Structure 1
Amino acid sequence: MAFTLLTILTAAISASYCFPTIFQDLEHNGGNRTSIKFLAIGDWGGLPYPPYITAVQKTTAVEMSKIAEQMGADFILALGDNFYYRGVNSVDSPRFQETFEAVYTSKSLRVPWYVIAGNHDHAGNVKAQIEYTMKSDRWRFPSYYYELNYRIPNTGKTLTIIMLDTVMLCGNSNDFVDEKPRGPLVEAEAKRQLAWLQERLARSKADFLLVAGHYPVWSVSEHGPTECLLQGVHPLLIKYNVTAYFCGHDHNLQYLEEFGIGYVVSGAGNFLDPDIRHWNHVPKGSLKFFTGQASTLGGFVHAEVTKDQLILTFFQAKGTSLYQTVLSQRNVS
């Protein structure tokens, strides 16, 4: 089954370079439902020593399972830093069990997890994480960057999610010395990915167009805005009328809005950080919501895409929603 899944995903990646785009139905598309629902969680990657998870990861996983059960979740976006502090070294690493399979155990979380790599993952073997797709019935990481295309049930509308590898785009960073990305390790690979992104955005007719990466475009917290993304990706998000950009990296929950584009920071899956040192380094008036307080016990985002809206709800792990906002569908000419 896993081999077949990887074959399908690989074919989907190959197809993303040619046109027209093929939109898929959800795997369990039944009844009269008229929306797609998913969770977004970043920086959830446990610890490299016993017990291999943190209290924040554990409580967040429990609340994720409750929200997925109550509100629904067709899949989960895993936004990088999947395994602290240096990723995994092989596809047989016990960390896949200790930090992933043994933590997110509820039936409601046994849905596809669409994965991208963070800076801590790139400190290890990202290829091993990609290869784990063949060994898991829910871990889906077909390539460093890739595209997901869905038909929203019973609406005639479509959703596209473009998953980026922002570490390949911008370079790695050392969180322990507050180092910023200093440029890609292989510049040709970064240029190839950016050209691919522009091509996909330019040709997209999706009613809802999302982009996801590990590094933030805008953030008020410790890492702040990512200059490389501001230069290379930010103009494309505006030009092609992207609905929202999802990321992690900063260990908190944030929502910013600029030119009608939502910027979602969901990095509270394993640690919490109330740092706001870059409060004045984002567009004036763009920050709508922020929390990184330890009292939340962790957090994540629930998204619902309907025929004409993207509804975003920010949850804290101790059991209540903290903020909700709505974005309209794109104007596709």
Structure 2
Amino acid sequence: MAPQMISILISIFALPAVLCYPPSFINLETEDRNQSSIRFLVVGDWGGLPNAPFTTPIEWATAREMGRTADQLGADFVLALGDNFYYKGVKSVDDPRFQETFENVYTAKSLNIPWFVVAGNHDHAGNVLAQIQYSKVSPRWNFPYYYYELNFRIPNTDSTMTILMLDTVLLCGNTDDFKDQKPQGPPSNVQANRQLVWLQERMARSKADFLLVAGHYPVWSISEHGPTDCLLKRLRPLLLKYKATAYLCGHDHNLQYLKESDIGYVVSGAGNFMDPDVRHRNDVPKNSLKFFTGKASTLGGFTHMEVSKKKLTMTFIQARGTSLYRAVLPKRDL
């Protein structure tokens, strides 16, 4: 299916209103008819620089390795988890940053696949609506609304996967990274509560074998920003109650995997910078941290995920081309 058609499909069920109806499934067209899994890449905080050359060496290295990984291991789509354009997002749908930091960098044929996008705090310093509108310009850029739902059937199986894409800035508030702030509270309580009601309704009715939630801010992190208090209060109880498989995010500029109460927490924020900071290592549940790397020598990284009939396999990959860590989560026990 062409990315344009996927954009039309997801826009149908991306509206913020809470509606009760069977989920619409995205049909990913694959060349291999015997394929029995969905593969995708997760990258956050990949958004280049506001001045020439508009990219960083880490972004270039990560983009090249994403292309190689998608070609060798397969990728049906990419999740882009915010801070898509440093440091103040974009100004309009015609902003040259779309070309300079996105289109001209992720040029591998294997990355000419749908990119499903959410906004981060730096994006909210600019015009997020322009990023949403860019979905009509780029055939692979899919950003239908601030938060939205993706539903997939695992090919040649009876298993399904749902990904709920969140705007954690609208939910928790913005933050000034240069002042090491925590989110200061949502810009609109009405809008935040509307998103939370939408999320709870979607999670409550989900019968998916794999239920993933994705946003920008972390629930748990040992690095500079640490756990997000707002998400611990508002999101984590829903992840537990509705047996989510995993939560995916960026914000901290490294790769992390934590596991708590059978839920996997993935931080994949190494698309543009690397940060070895571990100041919050004592602020996560004991023994929850399974993997961490923030070494600049890795040149960045991302996560490759494969979802088959019975399991989700996550592989953390550095831009130098080495698999660093692998974790497996089973399908939900409903």
TM-score strictly above 0.5: yes
Which AA in structure 1 matches 2:96? P
Q: CA deviation at 1:28?
A: 2.8
**Structure 2: runs of 5+ lacking an equivalent:** none
* Contact 1:25 1:152 (8 Å CA) reproduced: no
Structure 2 match to 1:10:
11
Q: In the alignment, residue 136 of structure 1 is paired with which amino acid?
A: S
Residue of 135, 145, 148 corresponding to 2:147 = 145
Match of 1:96 among 87, 92, 98: 98
Q: Secondary structure at the match of 1:119?
A: coil
Aligned counterparts of 1:16 and 1:140: Cα–Cα separation in 2:
21
Shift of 1:7: 3.5
| Partner of residue 53, structure 2 | 51
Within a 5 Å distance, the mapping from 1:90-169 to structure 2 comes to 90-169=92-171
Structure-1 separation of matches of 2:74 and 2:179:
39
Once the 2 structures are TM-superposed, how far is the Cα of residue 8 of structure 1 from its aligned partner? 2.9
Which residue type is aligned with residue 267 of structure 2?
Answer: V
Equivalent residue, structure 2, for 1:243 = 245
1: distance between equivalents of 2:159 and 2:34? 15
User: What RMSD in Å do the two structures reach over aligned CA positions?
Assistant: 1.4
The superposition leaves residues 131-182 of structure 1 with CA deviations (integer Å, 9 ceiling, x where unpaired) of 0000001000000000000000001100000000000000000000101101
1:46-95: CA deviations, max 9, x gaps?
A: 00000000000000000000000000000000000000000000000000
Match of 2:22 in 1: 20
- For residue 192 of structure 1, what is the amino acid of its counterpart? R
CA deviations 1:216-267 (Å, max 9, x no partner) are: 0000000000000000000000000000000000000000000110000000
User: What number of residue pairs does the alignment pair up?
Assistant: 332
- Separation (CA, whole Å) in 1 of partners of 2:4 and 2:24: 21
Displacement after TM superposition at 1:9 (Å): 2.7
Change (3 A) 1:101 1:16: farther
CA 1:236–1:7 in 2, change beyond 3 Å: closer, same or farther? same
Secondary structure, aligned partner of 2:161: strand
Matches within 5 A, 1:263-278: 263-278=265-280
CA distance in 2, matches of 1:3, 1:328: 32
C-alpha contact (below 8 Å) 2:253/2:275 kept by paired residues: yes
Alpha-carbon shift at residue 11 of structure 1 (Å): 1.3
Partner of 2:302: 300
Contact kept, 8 Å, 2:58 with 2:273, in 1: the verdict is: yes
- Aligned-pair identity (%): 65
Alignment check: 8 A CA contact 1:82 1:121 kept: yes
- Partner Cα separation in structure 2 for residue 26 and residue 114 of structure 1: 13
Partner SS, residue 170 of structure 2: helix
What is the Cα deviation at residue 20 of structure 1?
A: 1.5
1:128 counterpart letter in structure 2:
A
Match of 2:47, SS?
Answer: coil
Relative to 1, partners in 2 of residues 1:4 and 1:321: Cα closer, same or farther, differing over 3 Å? closer
Question: What are the superposed Cα offsets for residues 305-326 of structure 1, whole Å, 9 maximum, x if unpaired?
Answer: 0000000000000110000010
State the SS of the aligned residue for 2:192: helix
Residue 30 of structure 1 and its aligned partner are, at CA, apart by 4.3
Which of 29, 32, 35 lines up with 2:34 in the alignment?
Answer: 32
Is the 1:267–1:300 Cα contact (8 Å) retained in structure 2? yes
Q: Is the 8 A contact 1:25 1:153 kept in 2?
A: no
TM-score, normalised via structure 2 length: 0.97
2:314 match: 312
- 1:269-325 C-alpha deviation (Å, 9 max, x unpaired): 000000000000000000000000111110000000000000000000011000001
Report the Cα distance in structure 1 between the residues aligned to 2:272 and 2:26, rounded to whole angstroms.
32
Distance of 2:142 and 2:8 partners within structure 1 = 11
Q: Which amino acid aligns with 2:12?
A: A
Report the Cα offset of residue 4 of structure 1: 5.8
How far residue 16 of structure 1 moved from its aligned partner, in angstroms, is: 7.6
Aligned to 2:236: 234
Deviation of 1:13 (Å): 2.0
Shift of 1:21: 1.6
Match of 2:291 among 280, 289, 292: 289
Q: Structure 2: how far apart are the matches of 1:7 and 1:248?
A: 27
Whole-angstrom distance in 2 between the partners of 1:325 and 1:16 = 34
SS at match of 2:212: strand
Letter in 2 for 1:277: R
Aligned partners of 2:116, 2:3: CA distance in 1, in Å? 14
